[in-house]
Structure 1
Amino acid sequence: MASNTSGTTQNPSYSQFACIGSGFSAICLGAQLQRWYGITDVYFFEKLSNLGGTWFANQYPGAACDIPAALYSLSFELHDDWTALMPPWKEIWEYLKGVADKYNLTSKITFNATVEKCEWINETGRWRLTIHRNNTNDPQQDNVFFHECQFLFSAAGFFNEPRDLDIPGLETFKGPVAHSSRWRHEIDLRDKNVVVIGNGCTGTQIVPAILPIAKRVTHLTRSKHYFFDRHHDQKARYLLRQLPGGLWLERFLIFLRSENNFRGFFMTKLSARFRRSQRAESLGYIRATAPQKYHSLLTPDFEVNCKRRIFDTGYLSSLHSPNLTLTNQTPARILPDGIEFTSGETIPADVLILANGFKVYRYHATIPVLGRNGTSLAQHFDKFGGPAAYNCTAMHGFPNFFLIVGPNSLQGHTSVIMAAENSVNFALRVLRPILTNVHKKGSSIVEIRQEAEEQDVALLQAALKKTIFFSGCKAWYLHDKGNGEQYNGTTYPFSQAWFWWRCLFPTWADWEFSVSGLASLLPAFRLSECCVNC
């Protein structure tokens, strides 16, 4: 890609496809473009110094996948050499790097590049990106350049902006502070009093990993979670892989088991019965594994599936360690050398590790994308009361633009990589009439109809009202719309199998196709339903 390396580039570079981010979703897009259409004219803009997204950013001690890797991988690039059912981050990253190299995508990524704005140019039918390229060696050599594309994808992900710590006094702390997604490898934990704040999936991976190193670890809990054993039969996995198609069979069996858990998300008698069995299993495991003195701190007082379940990586057994303290006391403020609680008690701290999550809810709105008439994503979402998109992927007023793992894409029971791959495949199916010129009308722009998006979002939100999330759960999935009503722009209310099916067959009547440059003069037309096999 041609671009100036100093100052501001006024003449934009161009590619047919452009993508924000370089994690799983982006690599999937680049690979599928080649596999389906033989298209290699795509560029990626990554704000970090290497590819991988979440799996490059999160290098904290103990970082690992919490979904079986056989399912947490791309269906067209199965891997037969995972060292564990849920492998460490480095193994996931190496897998992703291998896929990127196989499809020659690494050379198409601009690293240390922050996309400052994406603007739809109606006259040309293109997206123009304003990109700030950071020179990590000399900030004075930073530069801004422009890039244009016909089709724009966002693969920025949910978990990229650390949540601010809501405890006063952080700026007074004298020791090092590290957020899990901004891990500082230079921090020496040996002979240190370490305080870990946050006890979700991340915090419970960090604690057992640093216990053998630190002098003392204090873990501040803010909520309770359902823990499950990561049990698996290594011999069964080995035998499966000896069979013809064994990798596919293993993936399919894990998928079926994951989908089975989906039945516990509804407010029905059958779902309630399933949740009771899951609760009994989890509490039995907690009581058998954790010290009795901590049982009250670990036993949830809400229903299973209100929050993401945690597959134990040795955290519960680590609570027996004499150099670990688990507490749910409320911090009043951070001191230069410790933490003071509202009770007046203080504890020493040499290092603070923040595992307090991310600014998940409004992440889409922070993407600087301006559609027709300069409408931003935030303004578009405000019309619905929160993040929303047709089939979690497309929005009216944002032509030729697709979100991968967009609003309502997440599910607490299965792999997000499946959702990402389904989203990519859906977008590329929608684009097929343009990319293959199947209707011979020369269209170059596609946009979801407003009424189609509104109807789809209304249906999805109505379905969510019937799930466990609206039973009184307090989780980051939910957002207060400001009128006392809660909105869920995060989770998907149907099974992943249903999402796959929806992505397999686009409803062509919901889409409008037009010609760039002439869109204001020619009426938009819709593909007929007979084009379902396009």
Structure 2
Amino acid sequence: MESGDRLNNPIHHRRHIRIICIGAGASGLLFAYKLQRSFEAFSLTIYEKNEGVAGTWFENRYPGVACDYPAHNYTYSFAPKPDWPSVYVSGPEIRGYFEDFKSKHGLERYCKVKHQVNRAEWIDGTGEWRVQIKDLVGDCVVEETCDILINAAGVLNQWRWPEIPGLHEFKGELMHSANWNEKTDLRGKRVGLIGNGSSGQQILESIQSSVAHLDHFIRQGTWIFGPFGPELPRAYTQTELREFAETPGLLLELRKKNESRINSAFKAFLSDTKEQAEMRAHIEYEMKAKLQSLELEDMIIPRTGVGCRRPTPGINYLEKLTAGNVSVLCGEITKVTPKGCISSSGKEHPLDVLICATGFDTSYIPRFQLIGQDGATLMKEWATQPRAYLAIAAAKFPNYLIFYGPNNPFASGPFLSTIECQADYMLKLIDRYQTENIRSFVPKAEAVADFMSHAVKILARTVWAEDCRSWYQRVQKPRGSSNEEKMPSLSAAESLTIWPGSGLHYIEAMAEVRADDWDITYRGNRFEWLGNGFSRTETDGESDLAWYVRERDDGPYMSREKRRRLQTRRSSPVESADGKMLKGDISTD
């Protein structure tokens, strides 16, 4: 927008903004919904490499794939689904939720499936991103430009093979959990399964009864959260489903109860706390009751604190480990041969099928080439340690925003509620970009450094910094590095890529944009956003020109604490400055 456009229009004149979003999973769809709900004068294109939306839930199709999070809380906070059939639901059912959300809000208009972003470069002269996209159907490359680039590809989007000598010399069928061959018939086969994370547990639970024998290779134990005590129902009754749909407040009460339990867990993840000790004792007791084997207890129950690795519900996983056709082998696989795997004992285990449930590249480096200011590449900038600003942005990469970047609260908060607060933060930045003459915004390097320094101090107090192998920790070699290259020496806390606090802590931290942490440049005079001297209210024929004249002070509180109390109170009224009790909701926007 030229200076003349602003000088001939009222304050906060909106310019047209062009946005490209990478990925149509949970984050990309949410961003599109929130953008169209609040904004006008924009163009948005979401490039998705798959032929459908839902991201990881579109890609992962292994037997037993499911969400290990209570389904009623694996929804957007404002979009419940009363008819979830059970407490935990399958991958296809989760995929259906996101597909329905896309259709309900007309988000398909923004999506270009089977298009993969290969490269994005910041052009400083024009203050825009130049993005190269491969059309996977037409097998051609197209180029687009945009003002703002959103990376909503997520962290669990690039699966990786384990680094085991001879892996690809195996002559049987080799599969990864995230690249499952749905035509494979495992009945009566000798199967090797590497990994005991969520995917490995779900696969084992699903295939154990049909295979001839299953060798389960694990490197360390894992905490299983349950369900313990009164078993959570596997399926809701028709009466429950009807009540969720028809009884006002019932489903909301359940969702809030679940969310409150999740949001009160952070203290238990601090080392040497009473809460951690009590949780450990309880879960260890329940796991032993299910395993009923000293040998299995020694292999499966971790020595590290509960939460060092991501805990899972593991429904029926522990029981399946005791089956007669399952062998649990703890330790490194020293080599894969054409016929099977050689375990740390030196014994070769013959296999027909080898399944690698070994997770994803969690380096946070995008799979496309990203070039920022002065030729900086994110691959180099984050090669040794990913360093983001509040999990959403990177120094040297202007107008580039990330969903669930490094130091996100994956370990301590609800996933979809977290991405909602990230989307809101992004849109606050975009609102300023659209209504002021901002050219670029990028987090200051010193702000990122200060944040990282603070995070290390807090994370050092948590069980996440203990000595376990976890994708919370940055322990992998930089992508593209040789085997000879080694990671620099980092302390346990420095290697962590999760938020230094609870999920609620993150949500409160993201409530407001700290402009002093950002380098902001302008197109011309920074005050041209003031326009021609007229307010937008004066030029809107439907506006009340005296909207601020009222009979009582019902405006938002000016202190952060009073706004927070009003927003988060249960039901008790809040006292106003003049001593009156305020019972109605007051906007805190």
TM-score between both structures, scaled by the size of structure 1: 0.87
Residues 465-476 of structure 1 aligned to structure 2 (within 5 Å): 465-476=460-471
- In 1: Cα distance, 2:380 partner to 2:338 partner: 41
Aligned equivalents of 1:388 and 1:248: distance in 2? Answer: 37
Q: Is the 8 A contact 1:28 1:424 kept in 2?
A: yes
Whole-angstrom distance in 1 between the partners of 2:445 and 2:240: 48
Report the Cα offset of residue 471 of structure 1: 3.7
Query: Match of 1:232?
Result: 232
Within-5 A mapping of 1:52-71: 52-71=54-73
For 2:403 and 2:331, the matched residues in 1 are separated by 39
Matched residue, 2:304:
302
1:18 and 1:149 in contact (8 A); partners too: yes
**Aligned equivalent of 1:160:** 157
Q: Tell me how far apart the structure 2 counterparts of residues 189 and 366 of structure 1 sit (CA, whole Å).
A: 32
Task: Using the TM superposition, give the Cα deviation of residue 188 of structure 1 relative to its aligned residue in structure 2, in angstroms.
Answer: 1.2
Give the Cα–Cα distance (whole angstroms) in 1 for the partners of residues 413 and 240 of structure 2.
19
Task: Say whether the 8 Å CA contact 1:513–1:526 is kept in structure 2.
Answer: no
- 2:121 aligns to what SS in structure 1? strand
Take 2:529 and 2:165, find their aligned partners in 1: how far apart are those partners? 56
SS of 2:382 mapped into structure 1: helix
Letter of the 1:442 counterpart: N
Aligned mates of 1:373, 1:225 — CA distance in 2: 44
| CA drift at 1:401 | 1.0
CA distance in 2, matches of 1:111, 1:371: 26
Equivalence for 2:580: none
Counterpart of 2:140 in structure 1 is 143
Match of residue 257 from structure 1: 261
Partner of 2:128: 126
Deviation at 1:106, TM superposition (A): 2.3
Question: How many Å apart are 1:99 and its aligned residue?
Answer: 0.9
Between stretches 471-480 and 343-352, larger displacement belongs to 471-480
Q: Is contact 1:128–1:148 with CA below 8 Å preserved after alignment?
A: yes
Kept in 2: contact 1:240–1:246 (CA 8 A):
yes
CA displacement, residues 346-378 of structure 1 (integer Å, 9 cap, x when unaligned): 222111111012111x23254422111121113
Task: Spell out the pairing of 1:57-206 with structure 2 (5 A cutoff).
Answer: 57-135=59-137, 141-206=138-203
**C-alpha spacing 1:318/1:274, structure 2 compared with 1 (3 Å):** same
Match of 1:17 in 2: 19
Q: Following superposition of structure 1 onto structure 2, how do residues 389-404 of structure 1 map, counting pairs within 5 Å?
A: 389-404=388-403
Distance in 2 separating the partners of 1:484 and 1:392: 20
Specify whether residues 196 and 17 from structure 1 end up closer, same or farther in structure 2 by C-alpha distance, changes over 3 A only.
Answer: same
Residue 329 of structure 1: how far off its partner (Å): 5.0
Q: 1:444 and 1:342, CA in 2 relative to 1: closer, same or farther beyond 3 A?
A: closer
Q: Distance in 2 between matches of 1:237 and 1:465?
A: 44
Aligned to 1:485: 491
Distance between the aligned counterparts of 1:457 and 1:484, measured in 2? 13
C-alpha contact 1:423 1:503 (8 A) present in aligned 2:
yes
In structure 2, how many angstroms separate the alpha carbons of the residues matched to 1:169 and 1:379? 30
Deviation at 1:216, TM superposition (A): 1.9
Secondary structure of the residue aligned to 1:279 is: helix
Root-mean-square deviation over aligned CA pairs: 2.7
The structure 1 residue matched to 2:440, chosen from 426, 445, 459, is: 445
Deviation at 1:178, TM superposition (A): 1.1
Q: Letter of the 1:363 partner, please give it.
A: Y
| 1:260-299 matches, cutoff 5 A | 260-267=264-271, 269=272, 271=273, 273-292=274-293, 293-299=295-301
Tell me the residue number matched to 2:209.
212
Report if the CA contact (8 A) 1:116-1:368 is conserved: yes
Which residue of structure 2 aligns with residue 4 of structure 1?
A: none
User: Does the aligned pair in 2 maintain the 1:73–1:417 contact within 8 Å?
Assistant: yes
TM-score by length of 2: 0.79
Structure 2: gaps spanning 5 or more residues: 1-15, 476-486, 531-557, 561-587
| Whole-angstrom CA distance in 2 between matches of 1:301 and 1:161 | 30
Q: Cα distance, 1:456 vs. partner?
A: 2.6
The answer to whether structure 1 residue 432 and structure 2 residue 434 are counterparts is no
Range moving further from structure 2, 349-358 or 498-507:
498-507
Q: How many residues align?
A: 500
Question: How does 1:455-474 map onto structure 2 within 5 Å?
Answer: 455-474=450-469
Q: Is the 8 A contact 1:47 1:114 kept in 2?
A: yes
Q: Which moved more, 1:315-324 or 1:468-477?
A: 468-477
**2:282 & 2:529 partners in 1: Cα distance?**
52
Secondary structure of the residue aligned to 2:215 is: strand
CA contact (8 A) 1:261 1:413 kept: yes
Gaps of 5+ in 1: 1-13, 136-140
Amino acid of the structure 1 residue aligned with 2:19 = F
Q: Distance in 2 between matches of 1:80 and 1:216?
A: 40
Bigger Rg, structure 1 or 2: 2
The residue that corresponds to 2:3 in the other structure is none
Quote how far apart the aligned CAs of 1:427 are: 0.8
How many percent of aligned residue pairs carry the same amino acid?
Answer: 27
